[in-house]
Amino acid sequence: MGLKSVQGRGRGWLLASLTPHTSCGFCLGWEQEDNHNYYVSRLYGPSEPRSRELWVDVAKANQSQVKVHRILSNTHRQASRVVLSFDFPFYGHPLRQITIATGGFIFMGDTIHRMLTATQYVAPLMANFNPGYSENSTVAYFDNGTVFIVQWDHVYLQGREDRGSFTFQAALYHDGRIVFGYKEIPMSVLEISSSQHPVKAGLSDAFMILNPSPDVPESRRRTIFEYHRVELDPSKVTSTSAVEFTPLPTCLQHRSCDTCVSSDLPFNCSWCHVLQRCSSGFDRYRQEWLAYGCAQEAERRTCEDFRDEGHSSASPNSSFSPLDGDLTTTSSSLFIDSLTTEDDTKLNPYAGGDGLQNNLSPKTKGPPVHLGTIVGILLAVLLVAAIILAGIYINGHPTSNAALFFIERRPHHWPAVRFRNHPSHSTYTEVEPSGHEKEGFVEAEQC
């Protein structure tokens, strides 16, 4: 349909197949709907009454609740943190703090990087906007306790000011709904260049794993895995259109072992008694999920076992906590170790096969040498075929346990895409008081 879903697809880190959608063209009065596992999205054309209903007229709102951000409204490549008046559920994670960027998107993570465009975003229209070009350009936000709205009003593209101004907004509702409203889109989004700034429209979330760095043992390497992304078809982003994302249930909503393991959600929910959490292992809490051995616990034990033990297992087993010093159990497990020195992402999660050759090598003795040679060749061919088939499987199922097993255990000499500073991609500066640490983070290149 008019939208496509990418699950487990990193920016040049993993190859993933796209969910096939039928194409029906963009009819002005045609509503389109798509299911992305985490959200159901509905696209409304310019002539649909719903598209006008979803637009919130900030000018008519209670002006005491509307704030025009003076710095964002007069600068280029700036970002500012804002605290919401309510917990906003994003991919099942309750968030109270977000970061507004001049480039037409909201960063939903709590680790601020110099470049905020790779993962964890809500982007009605991410592009190289420069609100400082015109006195009429503003970046304003509105919070009435049930909805938080950011509006980029009469903003111009850097270097394309002659094409006119853009006005659009993103609304975050307390029930988890996300709405993109487009009032003025003076040119086709397909014509916007991405050479100086990524051009995106949609949602994305990721988790981060900290692993010991092989080069500096006392430091940590950050591995970012984008486990889900929703991309809007840029040709559908037009004036007076709208998109509404309705959240679907996730494993995190279950608060007991019984409701977790009996869940019919498409996420393979498992209960971790140590953390008292239901999860598929693919969320922002993955660091804890691995450190406390939750996957192994779910395989070996049942809810009945936990009931028999009562709450004697409430304290974590030290054997499951290899990163105890780095863990946090607050509303989000994304954090940066003070000794972190390196950013890294994975390109080939299934490269290598150490250990497999020894397990499959012939051990029998006595047959003629030529027969042993033939058997060895056959076993080698079978091994290569098995590795290729495993690679194809993992490539087509990047969120499978096998894929993550190799991602999280890849030695430093395996291929990796390192984050690079691009001369053409100047970075964002956070509008914050001094004292807030900023970590280096630049979007990885597509392979």
Radius of gyration (Cα) for the chain, nearest Å?
Answer: 24
Can you tell me the distance from the alpha carbon of 204 to that of 126, in angstroms, rounded to the nearest whole number? 12
pLDDT at 254: 95
Can you tell me the distance from the alpha carbon of 99 to that of 172, in angstroms, rounded to the nearest whole number? 13
Residue 380: C-alpha distances to residues 354, 373, 376, 384, 414 (Å): 14, 10, 6, 6, 22
Nearest alpha carbon to residue 141 among 72, 87, 66, 212: 66
pLDDT at 4: 41
Prediction pTM value: 0.69
DSSP 241: -
Q: What is the mean pLDDT of each run of 10 residues along the chain (447 residues)?
A: 40 28 36 82 95 93 90 94 96 95 93 66 97 96 96 97 97 98 97 94 90 71 86 95 96 94 92 94 92 88 80 42 34 30 31 33 45 85 87 69 60 36 60 42 33
pLDDT at 228: 93
As given in the structure block, the two tokens for residue 403 are 């894929």
Can you tell me the distance from the alpha carbon of 6 to that of 364, in angstroms, rounded to the nearest whole number? 48
CA geometry: angle 342, 346, 352, nearest 5 deg = 115
Q: Which residues contact 420 (CB under 8 A, 6 or more apart)?
A: 442, 444, 445
Say how many C-beta atoms besides its own lie within 10 A of residue 290's C-beta: 19
